[in-house]
Chains A and B, each alone.
Chain A
Amino acid sequence: DGGITQSPKYLFRKEGQNVTLSCEQNLNHDAMYWYRQDPGQGLRLIYYSQIVNDFQKGDIAEGYSVSREKKESFPLTVTSAQKNPTAFYLCASSGMGQGNTEAFFGQGTRLTVV
């Protein structure tokens, strides 16, 4: 089945630790995205990538890092510099051609700082 897979579903982090959230897609999409979702604030874009080995900061990139070494993979690292990392993180992918920009989402990772 084609789709986008995030892991783990739940993640606990101690203060001061870096953690990496996985996102894999087999839809052959060029573009991939990471969003953060907090209650009542909708989706906020962290980073996005439109091509392998290239990515751009979104609206709230501070304290996060990403890599795009393969077309199908776009991991997100939440670093210790992120002061309030507890949130629901969503990964998405999309095509970039005409009529092909619909975003497909993973099931999300809920990160909790303990």
Chain B
Amino acid sequence: AQSVTQLDSQVPVFEEAPVELRCNYSSSVSVYLFWYVQYPNQGLQLLLKYLSGSTLVKSINGFEAEFNKSQTSFHLRKPSVHISDTAEYFCAVSGNTGGFKTIFGAGTRLFVKA
């Protein structure tokens, strides 16, 4: 069985400050890991993903996440946030041998203040 824990339900931060959204997972098999972003009244969009290879993965809008197998974590970071980054962020995991459904965390609401 797999599970995902997002340790913070809300993260307020000032514009241009750094931010880290924390995610831990548990799984009995090797995994793929994802971060999704959701803007109000919209579906989820994939932000970045880890499948294999380099443990540091990056998105086109400045977010990055590092897969840490020993700590079973996949924290999301951005060195300088913008007002437009205000959204809800979901961490997710699926087994990497195929046939597994994706399990989502409860979400972290990032609120960027001016």
Task: Select A108's contact among B41, B101, B105, beta carbons within 8 Å.
Answer: B41
Interface residues of B (CB under 8 A from A): 9, 32, 34, 36, 41-46, 49, 51-52, 90, 92, 94-102, 104-107
CB closest residue in chain B, given A42: B106
Q: Does A2 lie at the interface of the complex (its beta carbon under 8 Å from any beta carbon of B)?
A: no
Tally of contacts, chain A with chain B, CB under 8 A: 69
B104 engages A102 (CB within 8 Å): no
Contact string, A1-43, partner B, CB cutoff 8 A, digits 1/0?
0000010000000000000000000000001010100001111
Task: Select A90's contact among B32, B43, B102, beta carbons within 8 Å.
Answer: B43
Interface size on A, as a range, is 20 to 34
B43 engages A108 (CB within 8 Å): yes
C-alpha spacing A104/B101, complex, angstroms: 12
C-alpha spacing A41/B105, complex, angstroms: 10
Given contacts A94-B102, A108-B41, 10 further A-B contacts (CB under 8 A): A31-B101, A92-B43, A96-B98, A101-B96, A101-B100, A103-B44, A103-B92, A106-B43, A108-B42, A108-B43
B45 engages A97 (CB within 8 Å): no
B101 engages A48 (CB within 8 Å): yes
C-alpha spacing A29/B46, complex, angstroms: 16
B98 engages A42 (CB within 8 Å): no
B43 engages A99 (CB within 8 Å): no
